[in-house]
Amino acid sequence: MAGKEVQFHEEASAEYEAAFDWYFARSELAALKFAEEELSRAIVTITQAPQRWPHTVDGARKFLLQIFPFAVVYRELPAIIQILAIAHGRRRPGYWKKRL
């Protein structure tokens, strides 16, 4: 079964790039693990079963990464899955709500 197309909110893309750059500056291996293993796995898993994770606010859902302290905040729309945030678990809780 093919999953829906995934689209990143502009600010979620910027958050991903900032996190990747932060890890890359400290360890290329950590940055690659963040991007190619954790985040890629999260996106694939979300597209396979987008309704599996609990609602947060106004239909948004949150998938927690296993190794890194980030959550993928997303919502399922009729035609796409929209990634609203790549949110650090210990910074500014709920800041992404204005993106809904």
What is the per-residue pLDDT across 15-74, written as a single tens digit (0 to 9) for each? 999 999 999 999 999 999 999 999 999 999 999 999 999 888 778 999 999 999 999 999
pLDDT of residue 74: 97
Q: What is the distance between the alpha carbons of residues 72 and 16, in angstroms, rounded to a whole number?
A: 10
What is the CATH number that goes with domain 5-89?
3.30.2310.20
Q: Where are the domains of the chain?
A: 5-89
Task: Write out the DSSP string of 23-36.
Answer: HHHH-HHHHHIIII
Q: What pTM does this model have? A: 0.90
Contacts of 77 (CB under 8 A, 6+ apart): none
Distance CA 29, CA 85 (A): 23
pLDDT of residue 1: 47
